[in-house]
Structure 1
Amino acid sequence: MKLNSFLKNSIITIMVISLITTPSYACTGITLLSKDGGVVVARTVEWALNDAQHNQLLIVPRNKEFKAQTPEGTNGKNWKGKYGFVTLTAYGQPYGPDGMNEEGLYVGVYYLPGFAQYAEYDKSNASKSMSVGDLMQWMLSSFKTVDEAIANLNNVIVVNVENKEFGGAALPFHFKIVDQSGNSKIIEIVNKGEVKIYEPYLGVITNSPTYDWHLINQRNYLNLSNTPNQQKVFGNYELNPLGGGSGLIGLPGDFTPPSRFVRAAAFTASCRPLSTSTEAVIESFRILDNFNIPLGAQMPNENIPGDIVSATQITSSSDLKEKIYYFHTMWNRQIRKIDLKLIDFSTIKEQIINDDAKKENEIKDVTPIQSKKKAKK
């Protein structure tokens, strides 16, 4: 076998094995600001193993008693929630990709395989220990600002808790938290419990590697611009750009986390001026349409699960100023919303909202119907 043919076949084999054995959790997050002081945090959620039921949203009331998990059970940190919140879920668990509380604090988790590494569990620290899902609920239920959450991180220890109900996948995550002032941080737990905090670059987050790597990689794309390339003359030839967008030639278009990070940063940096937070919500969905992943683009045909139609299972957009949570799903791309201002979190019962019961995209027929008159004799 020729060397080139051998290398080609080896690369294809490695790619196929990677696609089969690696869960696809290729989430992309952005933040947009509006002239009226709006802060909108939006993201896609990809999960290509099977239907994780990300379309089911949980409403959590104030004053809920929480018991955190450890490898030994629910003997971790206990706390009483001060704030109510809405959160996406996964596999029927009380946490999921993201959520927003009644004070406008947003917490989102993003997959960080190969790099996230939680603290080793120590029984003597059980009262401070919690799972990564508990950390999300703790922040949403306990704080109204990013600074408050960051200041209290040293009061908890995040340990690895295997959850077989979560699709059988490991749960290595990093976090993006944002409040209604626009203050935002990226939280990563690495090296067996070391907590690292980063300022988000243009509000963008994806997945592995760690955030500092993405910031260094961004230097490779300083040439990108929304200004079209200019005409150049070579001897008797005058060469002009073939069309709009020529300044973005070289923008990576694949679905890997590094490429999505660069692409999300470019679209955020070039976003048009937005007057209101509602306008920013609509624009966030428009931008994130560029990150929808068709299922077949990441999985060989023989490994495509039969219970989902897209790797992008849900896209959400949180208006922190107006405290409205928007979303659309792979089953129904109509944008829906939950207005947290209209919920009395002191009296509402904990409940699941599932607006995808039919699992059917709504199509409106606008065909003009003209009545047929009988022909005159």
Structure 2
Amino acid sequence: MNTLKTSFRSWQKVCATSLSALTALGAGPAAACTALMITDANGVAYSGKTMEYSTPIPLLMTYMPAGTRVVSLAPDGSDGMSFTTRYPILGGATAAALQPGAHQGMMVEAANDQGLSVSSNELPETVEPTDVGTDKAKQLAGTDLSNWVLGNFATVAEAKAALAKGEVKVWLPKLDFVSGILPEHYIFFDKTGDGMVIEFTGGRMNVYDNPVGVATNGPEFPWHLANLRNYSFLDNMDRNSGQFGKLKVTSPDSGNALAGVPSTQISYGRFVKAAYYTTFTRKAKTPQDAVVTLAHILNNFDRPYNLSEDAAGTGGDGTKIWDTSSEVTIFTWMNDKARNRYYLRTIDALSFTAFDIARLASLKKVVAVDFTKFVDQPDGTQMLLDAAAQ
């Protein structure tokens, strides 16, 4: 049996950069993430996300085999809930534990071998739940929520049922690098295309169905669904002719159906834009075509340096020590749920690195490699296998 309490201490040494550096920089959480999901012609789902940040984040591509023992913390700092994972997990984890005494880093983006995936996106409206119970065996730090869901469940329906039964009491630890609780909501998609969003607002944990397969940031998820009513006119059919008085006109080009799609990069605009792309893009007939289609969609949310800038102290993601900051797409990831594959592209890469989760099944210990090692490397699977052999 693998125990994260000891295993993660060893792989944390791989990355010399600590999250304490983010504290010194005055950095906050990722502020402009877009998670989305599409289905192919057979109804199989494929999910992905762009993660934007103004400061480099020390993340490790981490494989956690089935049978790994995870020990979470209780609010008083002692050990809380513990569990042994049923399914292996592959994803991006923080290079260090986020709170004192924690036994593992936080999985911020990941998938298991059943096709269940998670994305954690910033939600400024996040508040601490008031009911975290007194039974330490059920108390789970929010930073371990991804591990609990992906490690124990194959589908969104299974996870929702366990949450409804009160199998866990999630609490939100205060973290130095954000000067408070981590303001995140959690987006889950499974192989069937079912989705849910978990948010901590109004003093409680709220679990929402995700009927559109999209999530960005604040406000709360129900607000975004209601806001789509303002875009009921959207359609993908161009209108190429019209008349002004006696002047008849025709469009010189195609694509004007997107005229009403928001171009802004703020949260509500990206939500509507993502909903448009996932609704109207042609459904692929094969898994390979679906992954290529998903990559094309995600390219529309990719942000290079200085695409937009925030002055310090003016909101957005301006930091304490720089005059301005520019959120960029630190990484883009995709989960091919049909073939059980995972793809990563970092800010410095031209192409995606591929990971075959099934090929990693031989690994019996936690393995982690710094994200920066995968820049334009095609076979991430072999790199993890090689790291495990060292």
Per-residue deviation at 1:143?
Answer: 1.0
Would the alpha carbon gap of residues 123 and 252 (structure 1) be closer, same or farther in structure 2, given more than 3 Å must change? closer
1:39-54 alignment, distance < 5 Å: 39-48=45-54, 50-54=55-59
1:207-356 alignment, distance < 5 Å: 207-296=217-306, 297-300=308-311, 311-344=328-361, 347-354=363-370, 356=372
User: What's the secondary structure of 2:211's corresponding residue?
Assistant: coil
CA distance in 2, matches of 1:352, 1:328: 17
Would the alpha carbon gap of residues 22 and 90 (structure 1) be closer, same or farther in structure 2, given more than 3 Å must change? closer
Per-residue deviation at 1:223?
Answer: 1.9
Would the alpha carbon gap of residues 167 and 269 (structure 1) be closer, same or farther in structure 2, given more than 3 Å must change? same
Q: CA RMSD in A?
A: 2.7
Which of the numbers 84, 88, 96 marks the counterpart of 2:107? 96
| Corresponding pairs, count | 335
1:120 aligns with 2:130: yes
State TM-score, norm by structure 2: 0.78
CA distance in 1, matches of 2:173, 2:27: 21
| Larger CA deviation: 91-100 vs 132-141 | 91-100
Is the contact made by 1:295 and 1:311 (CA closer than 8 Å) also made in structure 2? yes
Per-residue deviation at 1:120?
Answer: 3.4
Is the contact made by 2:132 and 2:169 (CA closer than 8 Å) also made in structure 1? no
CA distance in 2, matches of 1:233, 1:121: 61
Is the contact made by 2:353 and 2:374 (CA closer than 8 Å) also made in structure 1? no
CA distance in 1, matches of 2:84, 2:115: 19
Which of the numbers 113, 116, 121 marks the counterpart of 1:105? 116
Which of the numbers 199, 211, 220 marks the counterpart of 1:200? 211
State TM-score, norm by structure 1: 0.81
CA distance in 1, matches of 2:287, 2:326: 31
**Deviation string for 1:38-59 (max 9, x for gaps)?**
31001111121x21124x2111
Q: Which runs of 5+ in 1 are unaligned?
A: 1-19, 363-377
Which residue is 1:61 aligned to? 65
Per-residue deviation at 1:179?
Answer: 1.7
Is the contact made by 2:37 and 2:189 (CA closer than 8 Å) also made in structure 1? no
Is the contact made by 1:39 and 1:182 (CA closer than 8 Å) also made in structure 2? yes
1:158 aligns with 2:170: yes
Would the alpha carbon gap of residues 122 and 333 (structure 1) be closer, same or farther in structure 2, given more than 3 Å must change? same
Q: Which has the higher strand share?
A: 2
| Larger CA deviation: 296-305 vs 139-148 | 296-305
Matching residue's letter, 1:39: A
Q: Choose 1 or 2 for highest CA Rg.
A: 1
Would the alpha carbon gap of residues 65 and 176 (structure 1) be closer, same or farther in structure 2, given more than 3 Å must change? same
Is the contact made by 1:32 and 1:268 (CA closer than 8 Å) also made in structure 2? yes
Which residue is 1:28 aligned to? 34
1:127-138 alignment, distance < 5 Å: 127-138=137-148
CA distance in 1, matches of 2:77, 2:132: 13
Is the contact made by 2:198 and 2:205 (CA closer than 8 Å) also made in structure 1? no
Per-residue deviation at 1:181?
Answer: 2.2
**Deviation string for 1:69-103 (max 9, x for gaps)?**
23322421111111111121234342232111122
CA distance in 2, matches of 1:74, 1:283: 46
| Larger CA deviation: 232-241 vs 219-228 | 232-241
Which residue is 2:11 aligned to? none
Per-residue deviation at 1:325?
Answer: 0.5
**Percent identity among equivalent residues?**
25
Per-residue deviation at 1:135?
Answer: 1.0
Q: Which runs of 5+ in 2 are unaligned?
A: 1-25, 98-104, 313-317, 378-390
Is the contact made by 1:228 and 1:241 (CA closer than 8 Å) also made in structure 2? no
**Deviation string for 1:293-322 (max 9, x for gaps)?**
23321334996979x996210100001121
User: What's the secondary structure of 2:261's corresponding residue?
Assistant: coil
Per-residue deviation at 1:274?
Answer: 0.6
Is the contact made by 2:37 and 2:47 (CA closer than 8 Å) also made in structure 1? yes
Is the contact made by 1:158 and 1:193 (CA closer than 8 Å) also made in structure 2? no
Which of the numbers 146, 158, 164 marks the counterpart of 2:156? 146
CA distance in 1, matches of 2:225, 2:132: 34
